[in-house]
Amino acid sequence: MREPLANHGGGEPTALAETEVTAAQDVRPHQQMASLTLEEKRFLLAVERGDVATTRRLLQRTQNCTPTLNINCVDPLGRTALLMAIDNENLEMVELLIENKVETKDALLHAINEEYVEAVEVLLEHEELIHRPGELHVSTAASCTGVSHRAARECPPQSWT
C-alpha cells in the first residue's frame, strides 16, 4: 500500500491512488485497453517503426491461420496502429492497414487534425467505398469539422465581431 502524499497547501493529505489516472482514461476513454499479446506488441512496434514488410507479414499470418492478432488493438497510450501510421505520416502503412480492414473510427478526424492531407484523401476514398446509402457520410462531418478547426485556428472567435 502506498503512503499518502505530503500535505499540499494546508489541505488534507491526498493518497496517490486517488490522483492516479490510467492512460486509457487520460488519452482515449472510448477505446478498450487490454493486455497485449506478444503478437500484438510485435505488430504495434512494427507499425510504429514504419516496418511495412514485417507488418505485412504479421497481417498475412493472421489471415492465413487462426487469428492471434487483434489488428485493432491499442497501445498503452490508447493509439491504434492506424493512428500511429498517421502520426508518423507513413502513407504506405496507412494504405496497408486500410487494405487489411482495420477499423478507421476517428482516424479521418485525426488525420485532419494532424494536417496529413494524403492520409485524409486515402481515408475519404476508403469511406466512399464502404459507405451505405441512407447513412450519414463521414466526409460530410469530417469536412465540416476540418473547416471549423482550420477557421478557429486562423480566425479566432474574438475577431468575429
Write the CATH number for 37: 1.25.40.20
Inside any domain, residue 10: no
Inside any domain, residue 19: no
Inside any domain, residue 8: no
Q: What value does the mean pLDDT of the chain take?
A: 76
**Does 23 score more than 50 pLDDT?**
no
Q: How confident is the model at residue 150 (pLDDT cuts 50, 70, 90)?
A: low
Inside any domain, residue 103: yes
Burial of 98 (0-12, 13-18, 19+ CB in 10 A): buried
**Based on C-alpha coordinates, what's the Rg of the chain?**
20
Task: Calculate the CA 128 to chain-centre distance.
Answer: 20
Please state the rounded mean pLDDT for residues 155-161: 54
Please state the rounded mean pLDDT for residues 16-38: 52
Give how far Cα 137 sits from Cα of 65, 83, 151, Å. 34, 21, 22
Q: Which amino acid is at 61?
A: R
Inside any domain, residue 13: no
Inside any domain, residue 16: no
Inside any domain, residue 57: yes
- Looking at the 3D structure of the chain, how many domains does it have? 1
Task: Evaluate whether 138 touches 127 at the Cβ level (below 8 Å).
Answer: yes
Q: Which among 31-35, 127-131, 147-151 has the top mean pLDDT?
A: 127-131
Inside any domain, residue 143: yes
pLDDT score for 19: 39
- The model's pTM: 0.65
Please state the rounded mean pLDDT for residues 66-92: 94
**Does 70 score more than 90 pLDDT?**
yes
Q: How confident is the model at residue 143 (pLDDT cuts 50, 70, 90)?
A: low
Please state the rounded mean pLDDT for residues 84-88: 98
- The contacts of residue 113 (CB under 8 Å, 6+ apart) are 149
pLDDT score for 68: 79
Q: How confident is the model at residue 63 (pLDDT cuts 50, 70, 90)?
A: confident
Instruction: Look at residues 141, 135, 81 and name the one whose alpha carbon lies nearest to residue 112.
Output: 141
Which domain range does residue 34 map to? 25-160
Please state the rounded mean pLDDT for residues 28-57: 86
Task: Evaluate whether 99 touches 121 at the Cβ level (below 8 Å).
Answer: no
